[in-house]
Amino acid sequence: MGNGGMMRKQFWLLLLGLLLLGVGLTGLAAATQPLDDEINYLPLVQSAPPTATPEPPPLVEFRGLWVSRFDWTLFGQPANPAKIDEIVQNMAAAKFNVIFFQVRGSADAYYIPGPEPWAPRMSGGTLGQAPNPVWDPLAYLIAAAHQHNIQVHAYLNAYPVWDNCTTPPPMVSPTPLYHQLNQLYGTNNGFQWTTSNQVHCSGYIRATPASIFTDDQMIAVATYLVDNYAIDGLHLDNIRYGGQNTSCDPVSINRFGAPCFSAGYANWQRAQVNGTVSRFYNEVILPNPDLWYSAAVWPIHIDKWGWGGSQGYHEYYQDSKGWLAGEYMDSISPMIYPGTYNCPDNSFWTLSRWQTLVADFQAESSGRYLIPGIGTGYCTFAEIESRIAAARAIGTAGHALFSYRDLLVFDYFDDLANGPYAEPALVPEIPWR
């Protein structure tokens, strides 16, 4: 081959070598890069999402407030619906969840009657006189309270039939229970008598608990309320005898079959009250199992401590612990507060005694609820707050304050809302029904 041919051959060999070298470098580069599919489907390492803080369970606590007829009506003046608006607004702002609203004071009605006549405080006039214009305080309250998730428990005085010791009520329609008892048993015979055969009157004239007719009347009232109003509970007050020396009335002696206060009489009297309480439960509550059934009770059941205070069991024939043990009441509210308040508080009902009594009732509540009563007339809010804290520490299902008027006078609603009631609470369920 000539020089020209040799040079051409070397040229092509060099060119071929360069081409092969380029292909090798390209393949090497390609081998070190992932394919598109590999890019799209490579597993991604992600950081774990932040752990969500679980919502705390809602607070469950009965926060009751007694509203008696004296808290919102005035003698001789027509009742005013605006007062009910005020009550509900204040309760909602303070985060109460139950109102004990008095619908029966002394066998009368704070609702459109019904088996019993209009209460005189509704019209500002006399018993049986309707307000003008006619309005229904119970229906009005229920509508307002339920808008704020406040339960309404209809609060009934049990045995009182009249609150005037000298002048009887007028004969009106419906016929007052006072007159019905006189027609049935003879004048005054259906009332509680003292051991000196006098009608007992201490604030009220009271029907004898031995009267089945009286029980029938109360059951009729409760049934009417349940059938006609969206109430959430029934609450009894004055469900006891008027005093230790009552009752020697002819109805009781006839039914007992022996002189009053002879052997076994005290137990028999307790059985009369127990019978009234259990009739409410069996005839009104059990057919309406969503209703809460409660009572305000004497603050000392039996004086185990020798304090010298009067005793519900021995002096008023009220066995409130027995109602819970017998499983025919959902809760009791011992009324552990003074009738009048001193500043500072130096009454019989000190905080220490309050705690002792609440712990005693709680220990013997038989699996039912204790809702201790707390007074509202103290000159410092600390007295109320300390009792709320004590009830929580003891483990009660809640508490109830007596009553609305003093909370308003001392302007304690804000103290509740900014203090022990800062967190809203639900009313406990009733697991045994």
The confidence band for 10, taking pLDDT boundaries of 50, 70 and 90, is very low
Q: What is the DSSP code (8-state) at residue 197? A: S
**Higher pLDDT pick, 203 / 8:** 203
Q: Give kind and range of the element (H or E) at residue 154.
A: strand 151-157
Residue 345 is predicted with a pLDDT of 87
Mean pLDDT over each residue of the chain, to the nearest integer: 91
pLDDT tens-digit series, residues 406-429? 999 999 999 999 999 999 999 999
CA dist., res. 411 & res. 399, Å (int): 19
> Rounded CA gap, 337 and 351, in Å?
10
pLDDT given at position 54: 74
- Environment class of residue 422 by beta-carbon count within 10 Å: exposed (0-12), middle (13-18) or buried (19+)? exposed
**Whether residue 231 has pLDDT greater than 70:** yes
> Among 6-10, 177-181, 266-270, which stretch is predicted with the lowest mean pLDDT?
6-10
3-state secondary structure of 158: coil
Query: Does a cis peptide bond (omega within 30 degrees of 0) precede residue 247?
Result: yes
Is pLDDT of 31 > 50? Answer: no
Query: For residue range 198-229, what is the model confidence (pLDDT) as tens digits?
Result: 999 999 999 999 999 999 999 999 999 999 99
Residue-level pLDDT at 46: 53
The H or E element containing residue 331 is: strand 331-334
ω into 344 cis (within 30 of 0): yes
Q: Are 315 and 246 in contact (CB under 8 A)?
A: no
Q: What is the DSSP string of 257-314?
A: TS-TTSTTHHHHHHHHHHHHHHHHIIIIITTSTT-EEEEEE-S-SS-TT------HHH
The number of CA neighbours under 13 Å toward the Cβ of 155 is 23
CB 275, CB 214: distance < 8 Å: no
Q: For the domain made up of 59-426, give the CATH fold.
A: TIM Barrel (3.20.20)
d(CA 146, CA 219): 25
pLDDT tens profile 248-303: 999 999 999 999 999 999 999 999 999 999 999 999 999 999 999 999 999 999 99
Please name which of 314, 215, 207, 333 lies closest in space to residue 267, comparing C-alpha atoms.
314
Q: Which residues pair with 399 in a beta bridge?
A: 63
CB-count burial class (<10 Å; 0-12, 13-18, 19+) for 430: middle
